Chain A
Amino acid sequence: MPDKPKIAMYWCASCGGCEESVVDLAEDILFVLDNVDIIFWPVALDFKKSDVEKYKDVEIVASLINGAIRSTEQEEMVRLLRKKSKVIIAYGACAQLGGIPALANEFQKEEILRYVYEEAPSAVNPDKKRPQAQFKDDDRETELPELWDTVRTLEQVIDVDYYLPGCPPSSKLLKEAVLVLLSGILPSKGTVLAPDLALCEECPRKDTKPTDLSFTEFKRPNMHNIDPEKCILSQGFICIGPATRSGCGAMCIEGNMPCTGCYGPTSRVKDQGAKILSSITSNISGKTEKEIDAILEGIPDPVGTFYRYGMAGSLLRKKVDF
């Protein structure tokens, strides 16, 4: 019996949700395990980097990498996996677009470290100690990964073959992706393994969306009730669905929350944030700066709203000047 295809899974700057989504396959995971050999999965299996290094170049059929890339160690690991794998799949919003961790691109590294180690209410650090990359103590020398200035998407660091969007990707998409991989008939490089149609397509509330959208105010879900029957956007809550790929089954909408855009843009859009901004603001009702600004007060943090998952992969990538 020939060897089962070797699969590696790795996490970088991520929350663990993507790992969880693999477990979410439930009994289907057995099917996966029957058909592939997971040779590396730090969250679940005890393999070391040196185990990966042992493989020949491109011996691993596919590596599924989740999380954004923001440290030297992560770079080192993904480069290694790239070398050893035939196919690299950016798994999840963070690997594809930067995800939530990429919101750090709105700040400087120093600001973040200062806050976390000194200013955060929970920080107890009278000596203002910071983690250091190199540390010498008598005869021991330790090395810690260094934090980068910039959070990156996976493709900004290594060559990526496919993308599985989502925060996290739905198990349905994962299963389909695995089937595609096993079939051996691979889609063209660069394909995002999700429908190239926006979420409204599969949204259960699509029919309730009016054709005469005109915003007179914007509301935030934590302050107002959302009518569970009607299109959420039409109620004045920002829903990124129209600018976000479908494939999730409109889970958030099912849970009566607006889409926040984790599946990223369609293939025809370069910058999801700019595009949804363009769409939503065009339909504001005001005609003067004053009227318009008054309505826009309902969107206090446009970057956080429209680039929640896409900052690193956006056209500007990060805050350019401080």
Chain B
Amino acid sequence: MSKTTGNTRTGFYICHCGTNIAGTVDVEKVVDYVSKLPNVVVAKHYKYMCSDPGQEMIQKDIRDQNLNRLVVAACSPFLHERTFRNVASQAGLNQFFFQMVNTREQNAWVHLDALASTEKAIDLARSAIFRVAFHKPLEQKKVPIHPGVLVVGGGIAGIHASLTLANAGKKVFLVEREPTIGGHMAMFDKTFPTLDCAACILTPKMSSVKNHPNITMWTYSEIESVDGYVGNFKVNVKKKPRYIIEDLCVGCLDCIDACVYKEPRFFDEFNQGLSKRKPVYIPFPQATPQLVVIDPETCIDFKSNKCKKTCVDVCERKAIDLNQQPEHKEIEVGTIIVATGFKPFDASGVPYYGYGVYPNVYTALEVERLINASGPTSGEVVMRDGSRPEKIAIIHCVGSRDKNTNLWCSRVCCLYSLKLAHLLKEHTHADIYNFYIDIRTPGKMMEEFYYRMAEEGTKFIRGRVADIYPDLTDEVHRRLIVKAEDTLISEIIKVPVDMVVLSTGLEPRADANDVRRMFNITCSTEGFFIERHPKLAPVNTFTDGIFLAGCCQGPKDIPDTVAQAGAAAAEALALIDSGFIELEPNTAFVVEVDCSGCKSCVPLCPYSAISYQEDKKKAYINEALCKGCGTCVASCPSGSIKQNLFEDEEIYSEIDGILNYTNIYEVSECC
């Protein structure tokens, strides 16, 4: 081990974390061992190192014993590295004279063998003690936070977050992919558990977004690229052409009437295809913004260039522009909230439920539209074959809680099934059968809601539905048989019904992986974005300055979505109002006198932070652009690039500390 400079006085502290660590790792033995290592002046164990008394103990030692290095063996650095860095700096030590040993998450919690676990703790403690001797005092660079915020996704999550931020005086850019904001909530008639009308609570918020002076709302738009880092993101947004000049259109909808298609003929996305629309359309009456869209896929003029363009003629405001091109906007923001929501499970993924085969099998979202007063049937439950149901089966957990589809519980399906049972009963007076596995109703007022619904006479059958098939014996009704095992009476039952409602679960969006890459955040194997910490940082991501809200992070209901959106807005506000952020100083730098100007590193940097100085004939790293991956450091053939916090010596000493016993003795002799 090469020598360290100066007189190194290290304090070592290992935390019991109650019994979390001390239950497996013999902390006394670790302290006993470490206290004999070179450079170690103090070695202690304590019940909760992160508690006030724990922190004060360390600070007192730093002062009284003149410690100049600090090692804490406790939980993961992701949890408390900042805490202990603060402890060091409050005691007058540069905060980077500190090294943390992950003794809980990566040791005590994952091993059963106490002896092996203790040995590992000792190895890693020694490693940190060797390493910290090489640490250098570093300064964190402060960068100002741009006050603008980008919100991606205009569902209820994005809407709520945008309004919160805008009301606090921040400039918000809300980017929504569809022609209107509103997300899934805009499709519902009523919402559980209060059964208040979704439109009544959502549309005012939508128009507030539209009219808020602090919000720039771009619908029918996509994020094309995100560059930069916390405080200073550069985002490119593409506004897809809707072939309408937004500033001129007043939403009179005359063009829709004037379209050469007299009748609507095309799949209406908003109504789940339960109705038709024209090539020029507005998704739904309260769509925000109140602007029509022309769909180039179905518009005759785009296909043949031979349309009479009656829509263009009819528009008094000359708002239709069939030659509109995509618009590209570049914006700068300091923080980003990702609120891209979910996608319902595709019901055809469970073929034996016959979705897409039997016309009277519906998904829940379709039923939401059917019973919606402004839906395709104006709220009349008229089925695809024109009849009205007398018997309805609602099947829970479609695409949830099943190894063959998705393992997770989608959290809202039981409750919206109850809601739909109530609404369907209200609209049709039909007999309603709920087939469930378990009724899951956590949350305020939810169980009460269940009881209320149960009292209305809806029947509950506990059992997973195995099959749905046409009842060929009953020519009159042409019903569907729902076959399931009623697990309460252990009997196979067959219930003939007119209508089947599939309560499909919530899934990540199909493009979750692309979105995640774009924003440099992580997602679970299934595709929900991962929060920094499930309890302590539930709306943060691993990328500073990027926050999560709503169902893109996991299935949840509207109250939770809104709460989370508020939290994400608050986190963004906290960052913005602190004015600046301190960056980790783990950037790389070229030691100019050592550099031979071989240029090998220049093409390696993904951020183009490395340039070749023609005058000096040496490489140079622009600290502001370097994000600190260390790739160029590992590749420099003459060892002339260093990375702060991860210098070669620091890593070699870590290796040394883990492995080489004899070296300890050499050091102890020389110091």
Whether A197 touches B637, Cβ cut-off 8 Å, given contacts A209-B599, A283-B600, is no
* Chain B residues with CB under 8 A of A198: 596, 598, 637-638, 640
- A268 CA to B634 CA in the complex, in Å? 12
Q: Mark A271-303, 1 if CB is under 8 A from B, else 0.
A: 000011011101100000000000000000000
Would A278 and B637 count as touching, CB distance under 8 A? yes
- A267 CA to B634 CA in the complex, in Å? 16
* Chain A residues with CB under 8 A of B598: 198, 200, 209, 241-242
Whether A278 touches B638, Cβ cut-off 8 Å, given contacts A199-B596, A242-B598, A283-B604, is no
* Chain B residues with CB under 8 A of A266: 594, 638-640
Q: Mark B622-639, 1 if CB is under 8 A from A, else 0.
A: 000000000100111111
Whether A279 touches B635, Cβ cut-off 8 Å, given contacts A198-B596, A211-B599, is yes
Say whether A114 faces chain B, with CB atoms less than 8 Å apart.
no
Whether A243 touches B638, Cβ cut-off 8 Å, given contacts A200-B598, A283-B600, is yes
Would B634 and A278 count as touching, CB distance under 8 A? yes
Distance in angstroms from B595 CB to nearest chain A CB is 8
- A282 CA to B639 CA in the complex, in Å? 15
- Number of residues of chain A lying within 8 A (CB) of chain B: 29
Distance in angstroms from A172 CB to nearest chain B CB is 18
* Chain B residues with CB under 8 A of A242: 596, 598, 600, 637-638
Say whether B602 faces chain A, with CB atoms less than 8 Å apart.
yes
* Chain B residues with CB under 8 A of A213: 599-600, 602-603
Chain A residue with Cβ nearest B649: A268
Say whether B80 faces chain A, with CB atoms less than 8 Å apart.
no
Taking CB atoms and an 8 Å cut-off, the chain B residues in 250-284 that contact chain A are: none
Say whether A75 faces chain B, with CB atoms less than 8 Å apart.
no
Say whether B36 faces chain A, with CB atoms less than 8 Å apart.
no
Q: Mark B561-601, 1 if CB is under 8 A from A, else 0.
A: 00000000000000000000000000000000011111110
* Chain A residues with CB under 8 A of B82: none
Would A243 and B637 count as touching, CB distance under 8 A? yes
* Chain B residues with CB under 8 A of A243: 637-638
Question: Which residue from B594, B600, B612 sits with its C-beta under 8 Å from A279?
Answer: B600
Whether A268 touches B638, Cβ cut-off 8 Å, given contacts A200-B598, A206-B617, is yes
Say whether A196 faces chain B, with CB atoms less than 8 Å apart.
yes
Would A197 and B599 count as touching, CB distance under 8 A? no
Say whether A201 faces chain B, with CB atoms less than 8 Å apart.
yes
> Among B599, B602, B638, B639, which residue has the most Cβ atoms of chain A within 10 A?
B638
- A10 CA to B458 CA in the complex, in Å? 102
Taking CB atoms and an 8 Å cut-off, the chain B residues in 595-621 that contact chain A are: 595-600, 602-604, 611-612, 617
- A196 CA to B635 CA in the complex, in Å? 18
- A197 CA to B600 CA in the complex, in Å? 14
* Chain B residues with CB under 8 A of A196: 594
Say whether A260 faces chain B, with CB atoms less than 8 Å apart.
no
* Chain B residues with CB under 8 A of A210: 599
Chain A residue with Cβ nearest B600: A279
* Chain A residues with CB under 8 A of B636: 275, 279
Distance in angstroms from A111 CB to nearest chain B CB is 31
Chain B residue with Cβ nearest A275: B637
Distance in angstroms from B659 CB to nearest chain A CB is 13
Would A268 and B640 count as touching, CB distance under 8 A? yes
Say whether A150 faces chain B, with CB atoms less than 8 Å apart.
no
Say whether A305 faces chain B, with CB atoms less than 8 Å apart.
no
Interface residues on B, range: 20 to 34
Say whether A137 faces chain B, with CB atoms less than 8 Å apart.
no
- A283 CA to B601 CA in the complex, in Å? 9
* Chain A residues with CB under 8 A of B634: 278, 282
Say whether A269 faces chain B, with CB atoms less than 8 Å apart.
yes
Q: Mark A209-251, 1 if CB is under 8 A from B, else 0.
A: 1111110000000000000000000000000011100100000
Distance in angstroms from A106 CB to nearest chain B CB is 23
Chain B residue with Cβ nearest A196: B594
Chain B residue with Cβ nearest A201: B596
Would B599 and A279 count as touching, CB distance under 8 A? no
Q: Mark B125-168, 1 if CB is under 8 A from A, else 0.
A: 00000000000000000000000000000000000000000000
Distance in angstroms from B587 CB to nearest chain A CB is 19
- A200 CA to B597 CA in the complex, in Å? 7
> Among B597, B602, B648, which residue has the most Cβ atoms of chain A within 10 A?
B597
Distance in angstroms from B69 CB to nearest chain A CB is 24
- A268 CA to B642 CA in the complex, in Å? 11
* Chain B residues with CB under 8 A of A268: 594, 638-640, 648
- A201 CA to B639 CA in the complex, in Å? 14
Would B596 and A200 count as touching, CB distance under 8 A? yes
> Among B603, B604, B634, B636, which residue has the most Cβ atoms of chain A within 10 A?
B636
- A278 CA to B637 CA in the complex, in Å? 7
Chain A residue with Cβ nearest B618: A201
* Chain A residues with CB under 8 A of B640: 198, 266, 268
Chain B residue with Cβ nearest A240: B637
Would B599 and A282 count as touching, CB distance under 8 A? no
> Among B594, B599, B617, B634, which residue has the most Cβ atoms of chain A within 10 A?
B599
* Chain B residues with CB under 8 A of A267: 639
* Chain B residues with CB under 8 A of A199: 596
Distance in angstroms from B127 CB to nearest chain A CB is 18
- A197 CA to B640 CA in the complex, in Å? 9
Chain A residue with Cβ nearest B617: A206
* Chain B residues with CB under 8 A of A275: 636-639
Would B597 and A206 count as touching, CB distance under 8 A? yes
* Chain B residues with CB under 8 A of A280: 600, 637
Taking CB atoms and an 8 Å cut-off, the chain B residues in 351-394 that contact chain A are: none
Would A197 and B596 count as touching, CB distance under 8 A? yes
Chain B residue with Cβ nearest A202: B596
The 5 A-B residue pairs with the shortest CB-CB distance in the complex, in nearest-first order: A268-B639, A198-B596, A243-B637, A242-B598, A200-B598
B residues lining the A interface (CB < 8 Å): 594-600, 602-604, 611-612, 617, 631, 634-640, 648
A residues lining the B interface (CB < 8 Å): 196-201, 206, 209-214, 241-243, 246, 265-269, 275-276, 278-280, 282-283
9 more CB-based (< 8 A) A-B contacts, given A206-B617, A279-B600: A198-B640, A212-B603, A213-B600, A266-B638, A266-B639, A269-B638, A279-B635, A282-B604, A282-B635
Can you report 25 A-B residue pairs in the complex whose CB atoms are below 8 A from each other?
Answer: A197-B596, A200-B597, A201-B617, A206-B597, A211-B603, A212-B602, A213-B603, A242-B598, A242-B638, A243-B638, A266-B594, A268-B594, A268-B639, A269-B637, A269-B639, A275-B637, A278-B637, A279-B600, A279-B635, A279-B636, A279-B637, A280-B637, A282-B600, A282-B604, A283-B603
